[in-house]
Chain A
């Protein structure tokens, strides 16, 4: 089954500003890291609560608490707190940005091999330099080498649309 992200509201209701969203993330292998954020589709603004805007990519896990003995965090279930800024209806999607550990590890290996073959490190502390071998070219911005292995891009998953509602109740 392909990797996928689903979410549902598990706490909150029509008459409260805040809701708790449970995200079920089915992914292959292990995650190096995973950040969650909110994509606002329409309606009143939604935040993470706690002063974080919808687009802030937040870590809903904590290495100290959630990692196993190998430092790997299980992101398969994440509870997010979302909060509507004012009364009304909001339509959102939950977005997860995952860096697969397999991709990260492959890059680490590839990168280390590339630097071993193409550069020489000299000095230490603030005089530490990496000297490229003959023929190795810098990139245009001067912040790296043209041929060094690029860091893999995170993979992005989105849930379907989730409708949040915060309304006044009425006296009956």
Chain B
């Protein structure tokens, strides 16, 4: 409790605030000396003549006031900037309507920092808000899970078999895992975990809110392309016929596998890479027959695969559906963190 602001001031009142040993003398009470903290007592001379009335409002503590919005407030730095030391109690007031926030979620909105002397107390009157930084919203791509391409019915089954294409595989649904960047930041951190002698007292708790969580979103995989339809045609007076298989479908992104070549002269589907689906294989083309249907390309990330192309026989395979997106939320930040056993 500070010394009164006016009226008759007795030596005993100065002693009651700052202590000292008998016999008392004003020379014990130079500002910044052993008994009078400098930060909150700038009016008290640091040498030479000391006036009694300079002790009005004197206080044996470092007094800090936050009167406008700020981010990442470091109490230790503020004390040192005020010319005080870390062995003196601190009285910190956050004015009404003021928010102490954080530029991001990686550092607390307010912290004590470390290096405080034994037995020091920080008393906070929070008439405003201490709010941790919000977690970031991030996005990513899957590394695997693209749908596989659909094959095409090979021609060695014979002329009578419809040369249909098999459907491409659906891309896998993505999975997402939130990381530290998605977590909300801490509102207040008691940093001095190695020394339990720093106590933090919220005389007025006010609003202390951890930062909100962000989300990590991963796009779905692409679907595989469908296999192409085959072709067959009559040839020659004897009614003989040729057959050609359709091309195989390409694999979807990410890294879906293309289907192997289904038969003579037909093309295999390409495999998808990290972000793009693979190309469909070309349709087979044997002597005296037009090309069979090409395989459908695999879908890029988040895209469905395309169906295979039609030949003159059978039906092409359908494309694989795109995998679904996934999202995972981080954790909301803590209102209080660090050496919370020393926060009351």
Contacts and interface: CB of A to CB of B under 8 A. Distances in A.
Contact of A58 (B155, B159, B172, B304): B304
Interface string B237-276: 0111111000000000000010000001100000000000
Interface string B213-239: 000000010111010000111111011
A161 interface: no
A149 B312 CA distance: 17
Interface stretch (A1-9, A87-95, A123-131, A162-170): A123-131
Contacts of B171: 62
B302 interface: yes
A115 B159 contact: yes
B265 A126 contact: yes
A128 B303 contact: no
Interface stretch (B37-45, B196-204, B318-326): B318-326
A111 B169 contact: no
A32 to B, nearest CB: 10
A130 B240 contact: yes
B161 interface: yes
A128 to B, nearest CB: 7
Nearest to A62: B169
B310 interface: no
B185 interface: no
Contacts of A81: 321-322, 324
Interface residues of A, number: 47
A56 B319 contact: yes
Contacts of A144: 159-160, 232, 313
B239 A138 contact: yes
B318 to A, nearest CB: 4
A64 interface: yes
Contact of A59 (B162, B168, B257, B303): B168
Contacts of B339: none
A109 B62 CA distance: 94
A35 interface: yes
Given A59-B318, A131-B238, A50 B299 contact: yes
A96 to B, nearest CB: 12
Nearest to A53: B304
Contacts of A115: 158-160
Interface in B304-341: 304-305, 307, 312-314, 317-322, 324
Interface in A11-50: 20, 33, 35-36, 48-50
A58 B321 contact: yes
B55 interface: no
A106 B332 CA distance: 59
Interface of A: 20, 33, 35-36, 48-52, 56-65, 79-81, 111-112, 114-115, 119, 121-122, 125-132, 136, 138, 141-145, 148-149, 151
Interface of B: 147-148, 150, 155, 158-162, 164, 166-172, 220, 222-224, 226, 231-236, 238-243, 257, 264-265, 286-287, 299, 302-305, 307, 312-314, 317-322, 324
